[in-house]
Structures are given as structure tokens and as C-alpha cells.
Amino acid sequence: MQLCQYPSQSRIRRFTLEAIQIPIVYNQYGDPAPPILRAYVGDPAKIRLVHGGIKETHVFHLHNHQWRLEGGNPVSTIIDSITISPQECYTLDILYGAGSRNRVIGDVIFHCHLYPHFHEGMWTLWRIYDRLEDGKGKLPDGSPIPLFCP
């Protein structure tokens, strides 16, 4: 999974998110440039977190979801962030699957919790659907999704 996005001058806007301003690089629909995870609410979900770099340590933080620090240990501490250093990897077994216990739908952000990294674009979304998505990019009423026009 690629977490970094590199701004191009033509597609940068600043949005207020979590009370800070972050630049995003977006596609024609206003989605962030890095890949978006997709699932249906309640789907079992595991995230394989791999740090293939050689320098920086990061803190992976996923909103609205949690996992156990020690996967497979039912009394292990429940967390929603984990520090990952170069050449480390983790499998995050998401408790209650996509949408978590409260069955959240919509876009859930995940990002590096080191804010300079977040600010430079180390974030993307997990899109959780509550109805069948056919991949045609249409709204529930069948009309096309309008292009994002800043």
C-alpha cells in the first residue's frame, strides 16, 4: 500500500481536516490520489502494514476502528494506532470488520500521526459502503457522480 502522495501544482487544494489545514492531491472526483481501501460494512478486514523504507519511523492511525496489539490474543490491549519503523510489518486484524462495532459507513481516514508527515500527504481513506457498489461511479439514484470543480 502506498501511503505517500506527492503534490503536483495543478491539483492541490487545502482543506481543514481535524482542525488543521492539509494539502491534498485529488482526482477528478475529489478523492485523494493514493489508493482508497474499499469494503462493505461488516466485511471481515485485515490491513497489512508494511514499512519498506529505510529512514523514517511513522505512526499509523486509523479512525473509528481498532485492533488488538497482539493479534489472536483476546485479552491483548485494544489500539487504534501503531508505531512502525523501517523494515517492520504488522497485520492489523480489525475488530468487528469494516465499519467497526458501530457500523460506520462512508469515508474513514487513516494517516501518519506525526503531523508533519500527515501534512505532507501521508494519508488516505477507507471507503465503507452500505449498499452494493457496481464500480460504475454512479450515485444511488443512477445519476453520474459530478466532477469535482474547485
Residues found near Cu ion in the complex (CB under 5 A): 58, 112, 114, 117
**Coil, helix or strand for 116?**
helix
- Give 20 or 145: the residue with its C-beta nearer to Cu ion: 20
- As measured in angstroms, the least distance from the Cβ of 3 to Cu ion is 8
* Residue 52 to residues 71, 82, 87, Cα–Cα distance (Å): 21, 16, 5
- As measured in angstroms, the least distance from the Cβ of 134 to Cu ion is 35
Alpha helices in the chain (DSSP H): 115-119
- Give 39 or 122: the residue with its C-beta nearer to Cu ion: 122
Place of cell 512502525: 84
Q: Residue type at 83?
A: T
- As measured in angstroms, the least distance from the Cβ of 117 to Cu ion is 3
The C-alpha cell of 51 is what?
A: 514499512
CB 36 within 8 A of CB 3: no
- As measured in angstroms, the least distance from the Cβ of 106 to Cu ion is 25
- Give 100 or 124: the residue with its C-beta nearer to Cu ion: 124
- Give 7 or 44: the residue with its C-beta nearer to Cu ion: 7
* Residue 38 to residues 5, 16, 132, 148, Cα–Cα distance (Å): 18, 23, 12, 20
